[in-house]
Structures are given as C-alpha cells and as structure tokens.
Amino acid sequence: MTWLSALSDGLARIERWASRLLVLAFVALIVANVAMRYVIGLPIVFAEEMAAILLVWLAFVATSITVNDRAQIGVTLLTETLPDGPRRIVDLVVLALVAAILATLLWASARWVISPVVAFEQIITLGWAKSPFFWIVPIFSASALIHVLADFAEAVTGHKPIELSTDKGVEI
C-alpha cells in the first residue's frame, strides 16, 4: 500500500461519515419543515433551498465514494477481450485520462468559485453568499483525484492489480 492509498482510504472514511451526516441533516430538515408547516402552520422558509444544497453536496460526496470503490458503470466489452498486457496499458491510460479530467475540473472549479461572478450570488431565502456552498465542486474534484491517483500508483507499482470495476459493492 502506498502513502497515497492510505490517504485515499482515510479520505473515503471521512466521506462516508460526511454522507451519513448529510442524509441525517436532509431528513431532519424535511421532517422539521413538514411538522412546522402542518402542525404550526409556519413552514421553514429556507428549507427547500437548503434541502437542495444538501442533496447536491450528498451527490458529490457519494460520487467520490464510488470513485474510491470503483463502483461506476464501465464498458469493458473491448478490454475483456484483450490479453493481460494490452489490457493493463488500456486501464492505465483510462486512469490517467480520468486523473487529467479531474485535475482540469479542480483547476476550473476553484477559479470559478473565487470569481467575482459567484461572489454576487446569494441564497434568496437567507441572503447568504452561495460561494461557500459551491466549494463542493473543487472538494469533490480533489478527493476523487486522490482516489484515482491512488489507484494509478497501486497499479504502476504492482501493489494491486487494476480493476476498473469490482464487485465489492459500496459501503455506506
């Protein structure tokens, strides 16, 4: 196991806890809003907007977890027919391309979040700036990039075979 794999595993544990907390916060917010609306007659004004933000964060965190678990849908029709050597090369190229895309997304999203255009956007019901909530995009990009680079490092050093899709399932 490389130090990058250890970092990826630790990050995945944090992401799993974050996803649990996001689900709890979402459910609590919805239940509280329903109770306030139908019991007291005064709904929580910001509940729908905050629930949408929580769901977006949850989607990005969960996607990063699936990158760590290699649980995305993959088309392996071509690579399954290749001998081990060429398949390994194709899998390494795919991991390198995914890493390049995530690095580009990290760079572009970080620039976007700190841009003056985003600074003016506000959550309508609360008047808060939206930019802190938009940081999930660079956070996701960085964490998914760490997971992909860890897989790449393990594959290159020979510590673990490349498995772009596994049957180990997603642990939540």
With a pLDDT cut of 70, the percent of the chain lying above it is: 92
Comparing CA positions, the residue from 160, 137, 153, 149 lying closest to residue 100 is 149
User: What pLDDT sits at residue 77?
Assistant: 81
Summarised one tens digit per residue, pLDDT across range 86-140 is: 888 888 999 999 999 999 999 999 999 999 988 888 888 888 888 899 999 999 9
pLDDT single digits (tens) 33-86: 999 999 999 999 999 999 999 999 999 999 999 999 988 887 778 888 888 888
Do the Cβ atoms of 87 and 79 come closer than 8 Å?
yes
What pTM was computed for the model?
Answer: 0.86
Instruction: Give the tens place of pLDDT for each residue, 11-27.
Output: 999 999 999 999 999 99
Apex 44 CA angle, 17 and 126, nearest 5 = 80
